[in-house]
C-alpha cells in the first residue's frame, strides 16, 4: 500500500511567505524529491491557518517511506532547512498510509 512522508511547517509572522514559497518550491522540494527517490512530491498551504504549510512525498510502500528515517539525505535536508529558516519555522513530521 502506498505511503507518504508529510512535513508540517508553522511559519512565523516575520517570515515572508513569498520568500519561503520560492525557496521551498524551487530549491528544497526538488532536492528532497530527488534525495528521497519518492514517486512524487507536492506542497499545500492550510486554508484554515495560512501560516501552516504542508509538504508530501509519496512512496510505493510504507517500508520505502520509512527508509528515509535517519538517512544521511534527510539529515542534510533538515540541516539545509535549519540554515535557511532557523527557529522561525517549526516543523513536525509523520508517515501516512494512503487509504
CA distances from 42 to 13, 32, 83, 87 (A): 23, 11, 22, 23
Q: What is the pLDDT of residue 91?
A: 97
Q: What is the pLDDT of residue 40?
A: 97
At 47-59, the pLDDT tens digits run 999 999 999 999 9
Q: What is the CATH number of the domain that holds 71?
A: 3.30.70.100
Domain that holds residue 88: 3-97
Q: What is the pLDDT of residue 58?
A: 98
User: pTM of this prediction?
Assistant: 0.94
Close Cβ partners of 97 (under 8 Å, ≥ 6 residues apart):
1, 2, 3, 62
Q: What is the pLDDT of residue 46?
A: 98
Sites in the chain below the pLDDT cut of 50:
none
Specify the number of domains making up the chain. 1
Distance CA 32, CA 77 (A): 7
Amino acid at each position: 500500500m502506498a505511503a507518504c512522508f508529510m512535513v508540517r511547517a508553522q511559519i512565523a509572522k516575520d517570515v515572508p511567505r513569498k520568500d519561503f514559497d520560492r525557496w521551498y518550491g524551487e530549491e528544497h522540494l526538488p532536492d528532497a524529491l530527488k534525495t528521497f527517490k519518492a514517486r512524487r512530491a507536492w506542497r499545500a498551504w492550510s486554508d484554515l491557518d495560512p501560516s501552516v504549510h504542508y509538504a508530501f512525498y509519496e512512496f510505493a510502500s510504507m517500508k520505502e517511506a520509512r527508509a528515509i528515517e535517519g538517512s544521511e539525505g534527510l539529515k542534510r535536508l533538515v540541516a539545509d532547512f535549519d540554515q535557511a529558516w532557523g527557529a522561525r519555522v517549526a516543523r513536525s513530521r509523520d508517515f501516512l498510509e494512503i487509504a
